[in-house]
Amino acid sequence: MARCRARPDQCHAISPVFEAGEYGWKPVRVVDYDEATNKFKVFVGDSTTSAKMVTRLSLLFYEEDPEAFRERVNLCKER
C-alpha cells in the first residue's frame, strides 16, 4: 500500500472490469486495503467516483510477475 499511496495519481495494477456485457482487464488505482474483508479499494483508470472492492486474486500489480500471478490463480481454482 505504501507504494500505491506514494503515487496516488498513477495506475498500479490491472483488474477485471465488467463493461459492455463482458469482463476485460483494465488499469486501476489501488487506494486502500480493508483488513476486515481482505479486499482492496480501487478506482478504474482516472475515475474518482466509482470505487470497487476486489480481492487479491483480482489484482495483477504492474510490479509483479504475470506468470507467478497466473499460477497462483490457477492453484486457487483447483482448490
pTM across the whole model: 0.86
Q: How far apart are CA 19 and CA 13, in angstroms?
A: 18
Segment 2-18 mean pLDDT: 93
The answer to whether 41 touches 34, Cβ cutoff 8 Å, is yes
Domains (range + CATH), the chain: 2-78 (2.30.30)
Query: Which has more pLDDT, 14 or 78?
Result: 14
Tally the residues of the chain.
Answer: 79
pLDDT tens digits, one per residue of 18-72: 989 999 999 999 999 999 999 999 999 888 888 999 999 899 999 999 999 999 8
